[in-house]
Amino acid sequence: MLNLQRWQTIAVIAFTAIAVLFALPNVLPAVVLDHLPGWYQQSRINLGLDLRGGAHFLLEADLRSVLNERLTNFGDSVRGELRKQQVAFKDITTEQGKAVVVVLRDESQRAKAIEAIRNVDPSLSVSGSGDTIRLAYSDQDLFRRKKEVIDQSIEILRRRVDETGTIEPTIVRQGDDRILLQVPGIKDTTDLKRKINQTAKLTFHLVNEDMAAAGPSAAVPPTTMMVPTREGMQELRRSNPKAWEEIQAANPRMSPEQICRRYQPQCLPVLKRVIVGGEDLDDAKSTFEQQQGGRPIISFTFNAAGGRAFCAATRANIGKRLAIQLDNEIISAPVVQSAICGGSGIITGTFTTQQTQEQALLLRSGALPATLTIIEERTVGADLGADAIHDGTVAALVGTALVILLMLIVYGPVFGGFASLAMMVNMLLVFAGMSVLGASLTLPGIAGLVLTVGMSVDSNVLIYERVREESANGRSPFSALATGYERALTAVIDSNLTALIAGVLLFGFGSGPIRGFATSLTLGLLTHLFTATIFTRMLLAFWVRWRRPTALPI
């Protein structure tokens, strides 16, 4: 049967209408969009960097060195712990990025030694026999640690690249040890590379408690400086956005003291002397207290040098506050409860888990955990992107016009027209699909669209040729159409599936702009199975009922 059932017709029309709806935000003016719900506004095609202009970096993190370093530190801690427990050992060595090997003097102390090691870090797997103890990360642990390093690097990059929160970079993990960084709209990458390098400066200072007690009007002695607190700055941003913007835009950057003097946010007097710098901080993470109801706390670890300096400073200043300064803000000023020796400590307080996570992140954001090497760079200037858009659009329009012309000549205004209409609806579906998926349109993606234009009428060619054949065999118009559609279907599906296979594999193996090509081509081939078959069949069924032709104009 050629005719679709009523529900089928309704379904086809509804489906097309929905597609129009989802493709619409691409062309609606901003004024109208602003009044529509957010999820709907987002149904738009993003332009790829090659069309929009911008920078694309693929960075590789040197995870090996990070793991090596961690293991070496761990080896140092083990050495100290074994000495403390009076376990004699011949040697402690680090196997490149894999394991720490402890060789004991006395085999009988093995159990004691393992227990001591467990105290330092219970997560490592223990192997070896006799006097040799091999400590290695389990695969799962290794994976987790690698992921941690990458996630941390991503957070730091985001903070560095997008200080002002306006440039919307895409920063995502790729594979095991890579980070993809895409920044739209920038042309000069020197500045971007400088920012990647830009360390947030993390320092620990003692609070000048005498002055803090004396109140804000007291004179600031030369050993002391006023530094705004993070809460103070956030409060300022809320209450006086203009001042905040001034601070952000100031060039050269304002010193913390200038900010305190000029805008008077909440500030703390801290001693200028730096107790420990962020470069000595190995790690900081949000955890929970072991006892007492498991309050969320922040735990941190210093390297050997940092640990010693921190130990001495905390021992001499119990009861005083220790300010942790990140760039120009004090992110936290906990009271020193006891001397913190042994290289690690905790910050307690009335924190929520979210707060401890944020604070830990801030503490870590001082230093990148791993060296990032640029292994791929692609920068496209905005005018180059504009040229590409222009070329792509012209090619697409001319291509579409030529295909329509060819179809009209060969199959006449009715059949050719319907096929062309279906092809245009197909384009609409592709746009809707890409909008819903939030896919990027790249220059190769435009090429994919042009190919889709050519390929999506192919299925109509197969069907129409079959109809011609059936018609030439003496069938009535109605019967020729019905049989044509029915019999051409296997060829239509078979011939398109192979192209689909290529598209899917291309998506799997390809990267960047090529994925854009694979996306638009695959999507186009999928949706055209609908437009070229059901949609044109519906149109022809209407037409046959309306005109009741005695012969098919094909």
Partner 1 sequence: MLWRPHHLIQARPNFDFLGKRKIAMVLSTVINVASLVGVFVFGLNFGIDFEGGIAIQVKAKQGNVQLEELRSTLGHLGVGEVSLQEFGDPSTALIRVQRQEGNNQCVANAERVMKKRAGDGWSVKPGPANTGDVEFTAPSSMDAVAWRDAVSRVGLTVQERQLPRGTVNTAKIDMTHEQRAEWCQQVAIKLVEDTIGSNYELRGTESVGPKIGEELMRNGILAVVATLAAIAIYVWFRFEWQFGVGALVALLHDVLCTVGLFVLLRLDFSLTALAALLTIAGYSINDTVVIFDRVRENMRRYKKMGLIELLNFSINETLARTLMTSGTVFVAVAALVLFGGPVLYSFSIAMLWGVIVGTYSSIWVASACLVYLNLRPEQLRMDAEKAEKAKA
For residues 81-140, which are near partner 1 according to CB under 8 A? none
Q: What is the DSSP string of 279-302?
A: GGEEEEEEEE-SSGGG-EEEEEEE
What DSSP assignment string belongs to 360-421?
HHHHHTTS-SS-EEEEEEEEE-HHHHHHHHHHHHHHHHHHHHHHHHHHHHHHIIIIIHHHHH
Displacement of CA 122 from its chain's centroid (Å): 32
**Residue of 99, 361, 422, 447 that binds partner 1 (CB under 8 A):** 447
Subset of residues 40 to 79 that bind partner 1, contact rule: CB under 8 A:
50, 58-60, 62, 69
What count of other Cβ atoms lies within 10 Å of the Cβ of residue 143? 12
When the beta carbons of 104 and 275 are compared against partner 1, the nearer one is 275
Residue-wise burial string across 171-201, b where 16 or more C-beta atoms lie within 10 A, e elsewhere: beeeeebbbbbbbbebeebeebeebbeeebe
Residue of 179, 330, 372, 541 interacting with partner 1 (CB under 8 A): 372
Out of 227, 368, 428, 430, point to the residue binding partner 1 (CB under 8 A).
Answer: 368
481 touches 456 (CB < 8 A): no
Could you tell me which of 348, 227, 204, 206 has the C-alpha nearest to residue 280?
204
Query: CB 149: neighbour CB atoms within 10 A?
Result: 20
**Count of residues binding partner 1 (CB under 8 A)?**
102
Q: Which is nearer to partner 1, 351 or 411 (CB)?
A: 411
- Measure the CA–CA gap between 512 and 180, rounded to whole angstroms: 10
Stretch that binds partner 1, among 92-100, 106-114, 330-338, 452-460 (CB under 8 A): 452-460
Q: Applying CB under 8 A, does 407 fall inside the site for partner 1?
A: yes
The DSSP 8-state label assigned to residue 105 in this structure reads S
- Which residue number, 20 or 395, has a Cβ lying nearer to partner 1? 395
Q: Residue from 20, 461, 526, 544 that binds partner 1 (CB under 8 A)?
A: 461
Q: Does residue 363 belong to the site contacting partner 1 (CB under 8 A)?
A: no
- Distance, CA of 24 to chain centre: 27
Residue closer to partner 1 (CB basis): 243 or 395: 395
Nearest-approach distance from CB 373 to partner 1, in angstroms: 5
Name the residue nearer to partner 1 (CB basis): 437 or 497: 497
Contacting range for partner 1; rule: CB under 8 A; set: 71-79, 140-148, 513-521, 532-540: 513-521
Which of 121, 148, 465, 486 lies at the binding interface for partner 1 (CB under 8 A)?
A: 465
Q: Is 388 in the site for partner 1 (CB under 8 A)?
A: yes
Cα 108 from Cα 104, distance rounded (Å): 9
Q: Which two tokens stand for residue 523?
A: 């999507």
Q: Which of positions 196-235 make contact with partner 1 (CB under 8 A)?
A: 196-199, 201
- 94-98 contacts at long range (C-beta below 8 A, 24 or more positions apart): 94/68, 96/64, 96/68, 97/64, 97/65, 97/67, 97/68, 97/71, 98/71, 98/136, 98/137
Sheet holding 344-347, edge to edge: 281-288, 296-302, 344-347
Question: Could you tell me the smallest distance in angstroms from the CB atom of residue 92 to partner 1?
Answer: 22
> What's the token pair of residue 304?
């050997």
Least separation in angstroms between residue 546's CB and partner 1 is 14
- Binding status of residue 387 toward partner 1 by CB under 8 A: yes
Which CB atom, from 299 or from 522, has the smaller least distance to partner 1?
A: 522
Regarding 502 and contact with partner 1 (CB under 8 A), the answer is yes
| Candidates 5-13, 31-39, 104-112, 494-502; binding stretch for partner 1 (CB under 8 A) | 494-502
H-type alpha helices, 24-108 = 30-33, 38-41, 49-52, 63-84
On whether the CB atoms of residues 375 and 395 are closer than 8 A, the answer is no
Minimum distance of partner 1 from residue 389's CB (angstroms): 10
Is there binding between residue 403 and partner 1 (CB under 8 A)? yes
The residue range among 240-248, 289-297, 354-362, 466-474 that interacts with partner 1, by the rule CB under 8 A, is 466-474
- Listed ranges 73-81, 118-126, 320-328, 442-450: which one lies at the site for partner 1 (CB under 8 A): 442-450
Among 4, 243, 491, 544, binds partner 1 (CB under 8 A): 491
Binder of partner 1 out of 499, 530, 543, 544 (CB under 8 A): 499
Which one among 323, 513, 524, 528 touches partner 1, defined by CB under 8 A? Answer: 513
Interface residue with partner 1, options 391, 437, 438, 545 (CB under 8 A):
391
Rule CB under 8 A: say whether 279 interacts with partner 1: yes
Q: Does 3 contact partner 1 by CB under 8 A? A: no
Kindly state the smallest distance separating residue 38's Cβ from partner 1, in Å.
34
Q: Give me the helix-helix angle, 536-547 and 417-437, nearest 10°.
A: 150
Which among 531, 392, 536, 390 is positioned nearest to 464, based on CA atoms? 536
3-state secondary structure of 188: coil
DSSP run (H or E) holding 53: none
